[in-house]
Amino acid sequence: MSAEPARTLVLTVPDWPAVAAAAERDLDPSTPVAVLHTGKVVAANAPARAAGITVGNNRRAVGFRCPEAQVVAWDEDVDNRHFSAGVGALESLVARFTLLAPGTLAIPLSSLRHGYADEPSAVEALISALVVETGWEFFPGIADTVFAAVLAAGQARRVEPGDTVEFLAAQPIRTLEYAGAEVNELIDVFWQLGLRTLGDLARLEAKDVNSRFGAFGRHVHDLATGTDRSALPDHVREEQLAVERVLDEPTTRSDTLGFLARQIGAELLGKVRRQGLVCTQITIELAAVAGESSNRTWRIEDMNENAIADRLRWQAEGWLAASGHGGGGNERVGDTPSRRQQDPDIVDEPAPDPEDFSADGIISLTLRAAELTTPVGATKSLFDENTGQITHTLERLQGLFGPDAVLVPGLQGGWDPAETNLWTPWQQTATPVRSPRAPWPGALHAPRPTTVEHLAVDVLAANGRPVQARPSGLETEPRTIRFPSGDTEAIADYSGSWPIESGWWDPEKARYRTRLQVVTEPGRALLLSKENGQWYITGRYR
């Protein structure tokens, strides 16, 4: 991809979230489906649109216009899962393609040039193959840049070579929203500046845009002028970049596993290197004889086979210890270092005798390259001080105390600090369970407790009876808090109690609790929560 225009074919499935939701629920194609996110319709399929449902309607408007419509909540997972399953058919048809978003994919036309006579015939062949395979409707769009092709696909048109600049100039400024959610703020600014079309934006000097809006503004300007030449990361077939080794005999010995891991790690890195890529994250999958498996993704800065072997060994030790495979916690990772200090004899014994555990050891190892980038993309930040040394130090601690002893902070969605906490082991990919972007009505406001715990306590009224909580408030005034140790502390002041009800639509997820902040006589503040008739300290202000 050099000076030559990156002529691109974009295929998009209109109303993808609605299509995916229908596929998830096995609905008839003629059933109207509307997908709701934060109370607003984000996608509706053709029958629903025919009934008058448009994007932005609320639930009541949907029910009013089309009572038989299926209203479903938006689920990112469903979107991605169905799409990546569907486009599997494309892997046998074209050499390179990129998934831009669920429902949209891009194919560089240079990869189709050898197989097909001209652009229309190529598109026809691809679409008919995809439609037969998936049953979805695809809109094609062709233009000289990826962004223009996305816009063209929205209108199902082909922009002649060289006409892309004119095509873009005529588009309204709102179309920039296809470039990503973070552009929305800029769009408002552009609108206030009187820029109504992409052409208006393109007429501005690039250096002016750069000085006013920074690098991101410059990027948006490039999109509008059709000069964006940034190459898309190719969709890499991941099964090619995975290595599996089935063991002849199950083992729990970490030295055996480390030895094997070094071998297959070298094999995997060799494969990655031959593709001209660099692997920055790796997924290690271990399978036990009993059929259980452990799956973790590790980010390793200086990827080499020894680093992979270390991670695999830690993962195996932690997993075996936790699941009891490793012999009654005899080799619990957290215990090892202190034991080592007290009793140096134990060190030389790497693991319990393998014969005892041959029935349930690890039987197969799989390594998968989880994140691939070009060699330039893998370099470290220029500005951070001594990141390499930090990494080295923390990895040493992980080696001594187990990977879960070194934790980096992150935030996820939730009501209480215990739920919003997302402590992830160093160099592992954080996987939030609850979306931070979803609304969390009743979430605790600042000031929030500094530490989190879950300690059952008694909250007593003046007459010594436990304080009951009702949705309308506390039944009696809390006076004393009694800790499990038997100590008591007088309550000087307390906040309003507020109930939090979550997951009421699903009996398995349903939780009801009452939250209360108290200040004790010595001036300490605590966050309490009552759940299933029991009070807990869930946070301390320290």
Q: Which is nearer to other proteins, 136 or 426 (CB)?
A: 426
Shortest distance in whole angstroms from residue 404 CB to other proteins: 7
Compute how many other C-beta atoms are within 10 angstroms of the C-beta atom of residue 537: 20
Q: List the one residue out of 18, 134, 118 whose CA is nearest residue 78.
A: 18
Amino acid at 293: S
Residues in Cβ contact with 368 at an 8 Å cutoff, skipping those fewer than 6 apart: 238, 241, 242, 243, 282, 283, 284, 285
Interatomic CA distance for residues 69 and 85, integer angstroms? 26
Among 124, 249, 493, 501, indicate the residue that binds other proteins (CB under 8 A).
493
> What is the distance of C-alpha 530 from the center of its chain?
31
Q: Does 382 bind other proteins (CB under 8 A)?
A: no
Chain positions 109 to 138 lying near other proteins, rule: CB under 8 A, are none
The binding track of 518-537 with respect to other proteins, each residue x by CB under 8 A or -, is xx--xxxx------------
Shortest distance in whole angstroms from residue 397 CB to other proteins: 6
Compute how many other C-beta atoms are within 10 angstroms of the C-beta atom of residue 446: 4
Q: Does 349 bind other proteins (CB under 8 A)?
A: no
Q: Does 418 bind other proteins (CB under 8 A)?
A: yes
Q: Does 474 bind other proteins (CB under 8 A)?
A: yes
Interatomic CA distance for residues 356 and 362, integer angstroms? 13
Q: Does 355 bind other proteins (CB under 8 A)?
A: no
Q: Which is nearer to other proteins, 496 or 507 (CB)?
A: 496
Among 50, 95, 411, 490, indicate the residue that binds other proteins (CB under 8 A).
411
Among 4, 28, 118, 383, indicate the residue that binds other proteins (CB under 8 A).
383
The helix (run of H) or strand (run of E) holding residue 534 is strand 534-541
Among 47, 140, 141, 417, indicate the residue that binds other proteins (CB under 8 A).
417
Binding-site size, other proteins (CB under 8 A): 59
Q: Residue written as tokens 């059929």?
A: 291
Q: Does 462 bind other proteins (CB under 8 A)?
A: no
Which of the ranges 315-323, 392-400, 505-513, 529-537 carries the binding residues for other proteins, by CB under 8 A? 392-400
Q: Which is nearer to other proteins, 237 or 542 (CB)?
A: 542
Tokens representing 250? 């199950």
3-state secondary structure of 500: strand
Among 5, 29, 410, 466, indicate the residue that binds other proteins (CB under 8 A).
410
Q: Which is nearer to other proteins, 59 or 470 (CB)?
A: 470
Report angle CA 190, 195, 201 to the nearest 5 degrees. Answer: 85
- At residue 465, φ and ψ (nearest 5 deg) are -90, 150
Interatomic CA distance for residues 51 and 69, integer angstroms? 9
Shortest distance in whole angstroms from residue 337 CB to other proteins: 6
Among 182, 385, 506, 508, indicate the residue that binds other proteins (CB under 8 A).
385
Shortest distance in whole angstroms from residue 335 CB to other proteins: 8
Which of the ranges 119-127, 322-330, 350-358, 414-422 carries the binding residues for other proteins, by CB under 8 A? 414-422
Interatomic CA distance for residues 7 and 10, integer angstroms? 10
Q: Does 384 bind other proteins (CB under 8 A)?
A: yes
Q: Each residue of 324-352: b (16+ CB within 10 Å) or e?
A: ebbeeeebbbeebeeeeeeeeeeeeeebb
For 75-84, the CB contacts below 8 A with 24+ separation are 75/21, 75/24, 76/102, 78/20, 78/21, 78/24, 79/16, 79/17, 79/20, 79/103, 81/20, 82/19, 82/20, 82/23, 82/24, 83/13, 83/16, 83/20
Interatomic CA distance for residues 86 and 106, integer angstroms? 15
Beta-strand runs (E) in 238-277: 242-251
Tokens representing 186? 């800029």
Shortest distance in whole angstroms from residue 106 CB to other proteins: 32
Chain positions 28 to 67 lying near other proteins, rule: CB under 8 A, are none
Shortest distance in whole angstroms from residue 343 CB to other proteins: 15
Chain positions 143 to 202 lying near other proteins, rule: CB under 8 A, are none
The binding track of 420-459 with respect to other proteins, each residue x by CB under 8 A or -, is xxxx--x-----------------xxxxxxxxxx------
Among 121, 155, 338, 431, indicate the residue that binds other proteins (CB under 8 A).
338
Q: Which is nearer to other proteins, 204 or 444 (CB)?
A: 444
Which of the ranges 51-59, 76-84, 266-274, 400-408 carries the binding residues for other proteins, by CB under 8 A? 400-408
Q: Does 380 bind other proteins (CB under 8 A)?
A: no
Shortest distance in whole angstroms from residue 539 CB to other proteins: 6
- Pairing type for strands 242-251 and 362-373 reads antiparallel
Q: List the one residue out of 26, 36, 337, 87 whose CA is nearest residue 235.
A: 87
| Interacting residue ranges for other proteins, rule: CB under 8 A | 334, 337-338, 383-386, 389-390, 392-394, 396-397, 400-401, 404-411, 417-418, 420-423, 426, 444-453, 473-474, 477, 493-497, 517-519, 522-525, 539, 541-542
